[in-house]
Copies of this chain bind each other. A is one copy, B any other.
């Protein structure tokens, strides 16, 4: 497959303002698109090799590997856009493995007629987000589909991160007695998207929390905190993350509802629209499960990083019923925090 890295364009810049089918055809117009839009933004030695793939050196370490496609609507929203989301979402999945994010691929599916200016804005945002997260976009691909067969622009990114030798983080490492830490308030990303879609206006608009999360995670690892599990709280929100971990770990998780921070604008928007912030997607929030003995030290490390400044304890793990997530309310009553059937809000990522 032709990709960004193998193409070279000696011809002048295209005069077209929209994506044409020919931009995906493997010929001169595709080369122009790639050189003008992608290589210009992401220039790095691996891309410059112009080969079918990038050759990379993990330095003898194990690697983490993940992928996500991005179909969010609208493309641009308060606090972010598809470009920053496509970088941070994948970077964060690597961070949740305890890996230092290093390299990204990008696959673009463009609909015929997409303004090249729109594509350029998304790519520029990807470039900024990649620089901020310390990752290099090293290989890519473009396809063009017929008008009416897409929705302007879909992006897939895959990512590779490098692990420290001793790192062993995942749902199966969770133990009864672990403390549940949350890195900040919930619901900003989903409600930022929803507010735009529904035309809601607030005195101060709700901004997405979209941000890279590797710095606080690597801080925990470097400080020697015994991290058992990490999870970013994207589709399905805190409720989905906790249910997945409780199920995979065969343990019960109890959460203190009163401890969970939700900002006033997010709470207000959720009330107006009938959403529960515990199920709303975030793009810059995560949970960490650590032993009680390390919990205070972990919080101190997390609070050094702006993205997790307001980290706090919200619950604990116990033997209990395997796979169960219980919410303890302000008045002490308990209810099951279950998965929804679908989701409250589609196409938020």
Q: Which A positions have Cβ atoms within 8 angstroms of B?
A: 1-3, 6-8, 10, 20-31, 49-58, 60, 62-71, 89-90, 92-94, 96-97, 99, 103, 105-109, 138-141, 143-146, 148-151, 154, 156, 158-161, 163, 169-172, 230-232, 234-237, 240, 244, 247-248, 281, 323, 339-344, 346-347, 349
Contact = CB atoms under 8 A, between A and B. Distances in A.
Interface hub of A22, A105, A169 (most chain B Cβ within 10 A): A105
A234 B27 CA distance: 11
Interface hub of A55, A97, A139, A169 (most chain B Cβ within 10 A): A55
Contact of A68 (B29, B57, B107, B248): B107
A140 B25 contact: no
Given A24-B346, A342-B21, A69 B163 contact: no
Contacts of A143: 69-71, 347, 349
A346 B150 CA distance: 15
Contacts of A29: 341-342
A343 B52 contact: no
A107 B67 contact: yes
Nearest to A51: B170
Contacts of A159: 53
B10 A323 contact: yes
Given A236-B27, A244-B2, A247-B10, A64 B53 contact: yes
A64 B54 contact: yes
A97 B161 CA distance: 20
Complex copy number for this chain: 2
Given A69-B108, A342-B25, A55 B49 contact: no
A10 B156 CA distance: 29
Nearest to A53: B66
B109 A71 contact: yes
Contacts of A339: 27-28, 31
A1 B346 contact: no
Nearest to A64: B53
A317 to B, nearest CB: 16
Contact of A66 (B21, B105, B151): B105
A106 B67 contact: yes
A6 B55 contact: no
Contacts of A235: 1-2, 24-26, 30
B244 A8 contact: yes
Contact of A1 (B22, B51, B55, B232): B232
A145 B151 CA distance: 9
A252 B161 CA distance: 39
A169 B148 CA distance: 40
